[in-house]
Chain A
Amino acid sequence: AQSVTQLDSQVPVFEEAPVELRCNYSSSVSVYLFWYVQYPNQGLQLLLKYLSGSTLVESINGFEAEFNKSQTSFHLRKPSVHISDTAEYFCAVSVGNQFYFGTGTSLTVIP
């Protein structure tokens, strides 16, 4: 069975500090990987996705994620966070005609 694991449910971090949100998946076949973000009082929206090619993908607001096939991971990183990055982050996997989401990581940036 496929699954997505987000190891940290809550991550507090000080402003301008680096952050890593971890995501691991279980699948024996090729997958497509996504990170979605939900800002306070807003709907889910795509942050970035990996489909093929370069294993490092970036978003327009400074986040990046690296697909690691051997470790079946797709961790999300940002070298310096801002207050506005406070949100819920969801890792997701598309395999076959099924979609699997993690339980989410709540990132809180502390001034």
Chain B
Amino acid sequence: EAGVTQSPTHLIKTRGQQATLRCSPISGHTSVYWYQQALGLGLQFLLWYDEGEERNRGNFPPRFSGRQFPNYSSELNVNALELEDSALYLCASSLGAWGTDTQYFGPGTRLTVL
């Protein structure tokens, strides 16, 4: 069974540009989560999608947005990039939409903002 996949592996952008990150969940999983892992800060919860709807978002500005497609894959968009957006962005998926469900993580996309 294929795990969670993310693309691209690396992404280099300049300040002010937009970045689009993609995630494909494990087959059968309906929930997708996005996290930012900046150096020394651990994982910060960004967004949670289930069945195409945004269920919740973390304490991030509106320029961080995303969506979930009918096939449950997801896209994270970061507008007006700032230097501090440089981080590893992790996507996870789970079978259900409950806080008890195990999350399965992808390998991440390393975003570098110059």
Contacts and interface: CB of A to CB of B under 8 A. Distances in A.
Nearest to A9: B40
Interface string B89-111: 01010000001101111111000
B58 interface: yes
B104 to A, nearest CB: 8
Interface in B1-56: 3-4, 33, 35, 40-45, 48, 55-56
Interface of B: 3-4, 33, 35, 40-45, 48, 55-56, 58, 90, 92, 99-100, 102-108
B108 A99 contact: no
A110 interface: no
Q: Which bracket fits the contact residues of A?
A: 20 to 34
Given A97-B99, A98-B58, A99-B33, A45 B43 contact: no
A100 B4 CA distance: 20
B100 A32 contact: yes
Given A43-B105, A43-B108, A100 B45 contact: yes
Contacts of A44: 90, 92, 105
Nearest to A92: B43
A107 B107 CA distance: 20
B45 A98 contact: yes
Interface in A65-99: 90, 92, 94-99
A43 B42 contact: no
17 contacts: A43-B90, A43-B106, A44-B92, A46-B102, A46-B103, A46-B104, A49-B100, A51-B100, A94-B99, A97-B55, A97-B56, A99-B48, A99-B99, A100-B45, A101-B35, A101-B44, A101-B45
